[in-house]
Amino acid sequence: MDTVRLSLEGAWSLLWVGLMLGAGLPIVFGTGVRFLAGPEESVTEGGLVVNHSPSVAARAFAWLCFAVVLFGVVVGIMVIVGAGMGKVVSFEHIFPTLVPKP
Cα three-residue angle 44-40-55, rounded to 5 degrees:
105
pLDDT of residue 3: 87
Torsion sign across C-alpha atoms 55, 61, 64, 66: negative
**Averaged over 24-33, what is the pLDDT?**
93
CB 85 within 8 A of CB 97: no
Rounded to two decimals, the pTM is 0.72
Q: pLDDT value at position 60?
A: 96
% of the chain with per-residue pLDDT over 70: 98
Calculate the average pLDDT of the chain.
86
Q: What is the pLDDT of residue 70?
A: 94
